């Protein structure tokens, strides 16, 4: 494929791709992490073989796509343009789908999604209750894109935002748009991306760096992975636009080594973009140079912290440093470095293309746009969802998530991973909003949501998260290394039925010190699980300490004592 040397070249290519695809049906098979674990590879092979066999090769294209979001029902097969959605498909079902739906245009009834509430079969994807309340501005394109094909992304209007920024806007205008849109960092802090960009832009120094933070060390979170795996070019396009606004010519995509599929997809995406002239020297003939490099790292939890991540890119162990001077001014090799999360970057092309008004039209006063949230734990529809900011948690769990399985009662929702906090059932009407959830003691973090029912013990959950954090702390500063460890010791004691009077107060005291004196956000927010579980579930702590009883029957020692 020749290099694209102007915006017109890009438009021409887009028309060409669209013409090629005209009148063709598309079979899009989810092939993300969950899908693969459930045999989606075999389904894709079966489709290719069967379509060949039935002589439909010229009329149907098979796409191996990233996650569509509905993990619980994967593998999902979506027939486009009719949007017929088959769930939990097996390789044996493929011949029937090909002969009935693809050849004759009829629907295979038994593979459709059945609404558990009304027992109705639903044909169209958009009408499934799981998808209906969502607004999949960022994630939605996943289902149309074969993960290895840049053409699919271009066909959907990909890289037009880059062309617009490069040829019709100055870097200042791009920056102003992002500032006006009030795009806040999706990685956890919720810091306005525009302000961060501006600091890096204005920082002294010729060489500046931009980074995509795709670390995602949080257990129970799979947003960034799904986005990067499903639609890598949207992130890349955002990165290039950001680099243009900031005045950077080198970028890094920071990825964890343990997702080889994602690494493969991103490597391919980078190579394709370079081939088309969308990356490298003289992008689209505009004179702007930018190259991006994949940085594959191991990443323990603390590596997601910006200064630790940058130390890791330099080749040292990921230990955070005091941030009297922000990384935006002095980051990798003491040069100004702007770091944003995958989801934040993916929002950039949308804002440039659709405009600031479109973006600010979604969401609440302080939090604009949509948020990708991973729903996991004891919930019927485990999956990846994207909702406008401001949707209540109740809607999230009952309308989209389909409620709690096995007729159990919801006890709490744990938001934001190990550094987040819990929201009890009584506060479920809180909206998904950076500030409101922060005040409730459960910062949204990157957006992982773990639903807990009555069989989960909140003391055990706090203990679990601290156990996780003691292993993930880098050990550089004492309040974090020792504080979390001592808190864990006390929690272990409580869970084993040896809790003492005053332990809860002691926990609160150590939490306070760790919060105030730790070097980085990991130590400062590590006591969050303890704080928030004590705040909302003090009665459970009391039962453990005073009555030596675990109300949920989770803590092993206690249950044994109780029975004997």
Partner 1 sequence: MAKKKTKPVFIGMKLTVEQAALLAQLQEAFDSTTKTEVLLRGLELLAKSNTLSTIPALQALSKDQEVTAQPTTSLELARLEAEVRQYSNIVQQTKNKTEGVIRQVVEEISKTDKILSKYGGDSSALVQILLDIQHENNWLPRDALIWVSQKLGVPLSQIYHIATFYKAFSLMPKGRHPVSVCMGSACHVRGAPRLLDKVIEVLKIKPGQISRDMQFSLDTENCPGCCALGPVMVVNGEYYSNPSTKEIKQVIAACK
Give residues in contact with partner 1 (CB under 8 A): 33-34, 37-38, 71-72, 74, 217-222, 225-226, 257-259, 295-298, 300-301, 312-318, 374, 376-378, 382-383, 414, 417-418, 448, 450-452, 456, 461, 464-465, 468, 471, 474
By C-alpha distance, which of 91, 241, 42, 256 is closest to 159?
Answer: 241
For partner 1, the closer CB: 10 or 87: 87
Provide the minimum distance between the beta carbon of 88 and partner 1 in the complex, in angstroms, as a whole number. 11
Which residues 6+ apart lie within 8 Å of 401 measured at CB?
375, 379, 380, 381, 451
Which residues 6+ apart lie within 8 Å of 400 measured at CB?
129, 130, 133, 134, 375, 381, 385, 387
Pair type for strands 250-256 and 209-214: parallel
- 162: tokens are 């880059």
Provide the minimum distance between the beta carbon of 173 and partner 1 in the complex, in angstroms, as a whole number. 35
First to last CA, the chain: 74
For partner 1, the closer CB: 348 or 450: 450
For partner 1, the closer CB: 12 or 257: 257
Provide the minimum distance between the beta carbon of 414 and partner 1 in the complex, in angstroms, as a whole number. 7
Contact 396, 437 (CB under 8 A): no
For partner 1, the closer CB: 35 or 497: 35
Q: How many CB atoms lie within 10 A of CB 536?
A: 22
For partner 1, the closer CB: 14 or 68: 68
Q: For residues 282 and 409, give the distance between their C-alpha atoms in angstroms, rounded to a whole number.
A: 59
Which residues 6+ apart lie within 8 Å of 489 measured at CB?
none
Provide the minimum distance between the beta carbon of 112 and partner 1 in the complex, in angstroms, as a whole number. 19
For partner 1, the closer CB: 182 or 456: 456
Q: Please, which residues bridge with residue 60 across strands? A: 25
If DSSP codes are grouped into helix, strand and coil, which group holds residue 63?
strand
Q: How many CB atoms lie within 10 A of CB 413?
A: 27
Provide the minimum distance between the beta carbon of 373 and partner 1 in the complex, in angstroms, as a whole number. 12
Q: How many CA atoms lie within 13 A of 119 on its CB side?
A: 0
For partner 1, the closer CB: 217 or 479: 217
Provide the minimum distance between the beta carbon of 256 and partner 1 in the complex, in angstroms, as a whole number. 9
Provide the minimum distance between the beta carbon of 378 and partner 1 in the complex, in angstroms, as a whole number. 6
Backbone angles phi, psi at 352, to 5 degrees: -65, -45
CA 305 to chain centre: 16
For partner 1, the closer CB: 44 or 300: 300
For partner 1, the closer CB: 166 or 457: 457
For partner 1, the closer CB: 81 or 315: 315
Counting Cβ atoms within 10 Å, is residue 435 exposed (0-12), middle (13-18) or buried (19+)?
Answer: middle
- Return the H-helix or E-strand segment holding 495: helix 478-495
Contact 242, 177 (CB under 8 A): no
Provide the minimum distance between the beta carbon of 49 and partner 1 in the complex, in angstroms, as a whole number. 23
Provide the minimum distance between the beta carbon of 452 and partner 1 in the complex, in angstroms, as a whole number. 5
Provide the minimum distance between the beta carbon of 150 and partner 1 in the complex, in angstroms, as a whole number. 24
Provide the minimum distance between the beta carbon of 197 and partner 1 in the complex, in angstroms, as a whole number. 25
Provide the minimum distance between the beta carbon of 382 and partner 1 in the complex, in angstroms, as a whole number. 4
For partner 1, the closer CB: 471 or 509: 471
Contact 74, 89 (CB under 8 A): no
If DSSP codes are grouped into helix, strand and coil, which group holds residue 520?
coil
For partner 1, the closer CB: 18 or 317: 317
CA 449 to chain centre: 11
Phi-psi region of 361 (alpha: psi -120 to 50; beta: other; left: phi over 0): alpha
Q: How many CA atoms lie within 13 A of 193 on its CB side?
A: 36
């Amino acid at each position: 494929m020749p290099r694209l040397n102007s915006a017109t070249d890009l438009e021409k290519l887009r028309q060409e791709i669209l013409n090629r695809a005209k009148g063709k049906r598309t079979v899009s098979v989810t092939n993300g992490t969950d899908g693969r674990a459930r045999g989606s590879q075999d389904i894709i092979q079966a489709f290719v073989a069967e379509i060949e066999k039935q002589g439909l090769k010229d009329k149907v294209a098979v796409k191996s796509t990233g996650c569509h979001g509905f993990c619980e029902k994967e593998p999902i097969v979506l027939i486009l343009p009719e949007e017929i959605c088959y769930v939990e498909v097996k390789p044996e079902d493929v011949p029937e789908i090909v002969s009935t739906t693809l050849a004759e245009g009829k629907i295979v009834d038994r593979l459709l999604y059945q609404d558990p509430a009304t027992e109705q079969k639903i044909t169209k994807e958009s009408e499934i209750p799981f998808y209906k309340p969502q607004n999949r501005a960022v994630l939605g394109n996943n289902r149309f894109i074969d993960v290895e094909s840049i053409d699919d992304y271009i066909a959907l209007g990909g890289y037009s935002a880059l062309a617009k920024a490069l040829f019709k806007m100055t870097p200042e205008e791009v920056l102003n748009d992002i500032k006006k849109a009030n795009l806040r960092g999706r990685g956890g802090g919720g810091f306005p991306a525009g302000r961060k960009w501006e600091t890096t832009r204005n920082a002294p120094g010729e060489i500046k760096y931009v980074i995509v933070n795709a670390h995602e060390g949080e257990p129970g979170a799979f947003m960034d992975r799904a986005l990067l795996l499903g639609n890598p070019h949207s992130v890349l396009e955002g990165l290039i636009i950001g680099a243009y606004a900031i005045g950077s010519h080198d970028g890094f995509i920071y990825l964890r080594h343990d997702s080889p599929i994602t690494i493969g997809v991103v490597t391919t995406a980078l190579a394709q973009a370079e081939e088309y002239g969308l990356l490298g020297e003289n992008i689209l003939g505009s004179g702007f140079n930018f190259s991006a490099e994949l940085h594959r790292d191991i990443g323990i939890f603390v590596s997601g912290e910006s200064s630790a991540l940058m130390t890791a890119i330099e080749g040292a162990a990921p230990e955070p440093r005091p941030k009297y001077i922000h990384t935006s001014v002095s980051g990798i090799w003491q040069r100004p470095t702007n770091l944003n999360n995958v989801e934040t970057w993916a929002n950039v092309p949308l804002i440039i293309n659709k405009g600031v008004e479109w973006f600010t039209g979604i969401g609440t006063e302080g939090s604009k746009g949509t948020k990708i949230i991973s729903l996991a734990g004891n919930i019927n529809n485990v999956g990846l969802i994207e909702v406008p900011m401001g949707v209540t948690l109740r809607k999230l769990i009952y309308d989209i998530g389909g409620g709690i399985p096995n007729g159990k009662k919801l006890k709490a929702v744990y938001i934001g991973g190990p550094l987040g906090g819990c929201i009890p059932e009584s506060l479920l009407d809180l909206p998904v909003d950076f500030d409101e959830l922060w005040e409730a003691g459960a910062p949204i973090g990157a957006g992982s949501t773990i639903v807990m029912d009555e069989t989960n013990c909140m003391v055990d959950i706090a203990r679990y998260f601290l156990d996780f954090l003691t292993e993930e702390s880098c050990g550089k500063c004492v309040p974090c290394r020792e504080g979390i460890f001592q808190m864990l010791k006390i929690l272990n004691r409580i869970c084993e039925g040896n809790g003492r009077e005053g332990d809860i107060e002691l926990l609160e005291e150590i939490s306070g010190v760790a919060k105030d004196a730790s070097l980085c956000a990991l130590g400062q927010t590590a006591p969050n699980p303890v704080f928030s579980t004590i705040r909302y579930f003090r009665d459970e702590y009391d039962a453990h300490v005073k009555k030596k009883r675990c109300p949920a029957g989770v803590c092993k020692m206690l249950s044994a004592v109780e029975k004997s």
